[in-house]
Amino acid sequence: MKITIIADNREKSSGVPNLLFDKGVDVKMNQLSVGDYIIEDEIIIERKTCEDFVLSIITGHLFNQCSRLRKTGKLPLIIVEGNPFKTAHNIKSEAIKGALLSVSLSWQIPIIRSSGKEDTVELMITASKQQFDPPVFIRRSGKKPKRAQKQQHYFVQSMPGIGPELAQRLLTHFNTIEKIIVADVKSLQKVEGIGKIKAVKLHEFFRMRK
């Protein structure tokens, strides 16, 4: 299995591309308009040191980057190297916590902290391997492209009370998101792990008025 990662030209000085290369990764340097790394054309990563991350909060640049990452249509991820609560910048911890929550909840972009460049490299390699061999709960039979499967799974698990495993059971049982949406309460209860209360909540969720 040969891992391919595209790295932005500006990342060359960080040493991360060389570390990836030393690990056997096929690294292609390119000028990226958004993000710092693209894994298998599916995951886009913004890598920041803790100092850069906090500075992007202060300047407001962070949320602009989140918007641009989202518009790529790829799976976005932000990796922060170091502790953002211990930097040279004069900023309250509440502001950092607020930004972390906003990115994770409002923008729905995961933020993972790494201990340093070597740890960042290991995270990217792990993410690459999961693209080739996704966890059991997002595997499906059939010929549907893996990316479409993941997008469906991500959508279903965002429903109230539905985690990764239940999302997979729903998709396996109903086959399409449309069938999940139009299902009645009794049909939803046929899925293992969905009782009457959860089924009612799901059913009402799709029929809520503004």
Do the Cβ atoms of 118 and 84 come closer than 8 Å?
no
C-alpha to C-alpha distance for 174 and 140, rounded to whole angstroms? 13
Closest CA to 43 of 106, 115, 134: 134
C-alpha to C-alpha distance for 10 and 206, rounded to whole angstroms? 45
* pLDDT value, residue 98: 93
The predicted-structure confidence for 103-112, as pLDDT tens digits, reads as follows 988 888 899 9
The predicted model gives 34-51 an average pLDDT of 94
The predicted-structure confidence for 163-174, as pLDDT tens digits, reads as follows 778 888 898 999
* pLDDT value, residue 138: 47
β-pairing, 26-30 vs 111-114, is unpaired
44-54 burial, b for 16+ CB within 10 Å, e for fewer? bbbbbbbebbb
C-alpha to C-alpha distance for 40 and 27, rounded to whole angstroms? 11
Q: Residue 130 half-sphere exposure, CB side, CA atoms within 13 Å?
A: 14
Q: State CA 141 to chain mean position distance.
A: 23
The predicted model gives 139-168 an average pLDDT of 67
At residue 136, what are phi and psi to the nearest 5 degrees? -55, -40
Q: Which residue has the higher pLDDT, 209 or 159?
A: 159
Q: Is the pLDDT of residue 60 over 80?
A: yes
The predicted model gives 148-176 an average pLDDT of 79
Which domains are present in the chain? 4-132 (3.40.50.10130), 138-205 (1.10.150.20)
Could you tell me the CA-to-CA distances from 56 to 67, 95, 97, 123 in Å, in that order? 14, 12, 14, 22
The tokens describing 184, both together, are: 């009645």
Q: Would the pTM count as exceeding 0.75?
A: no
Could you tell me the CA-to-CA distances from 110 to 67, 124, 171, 206 in Å, in that order? 14, 14, 23, 26
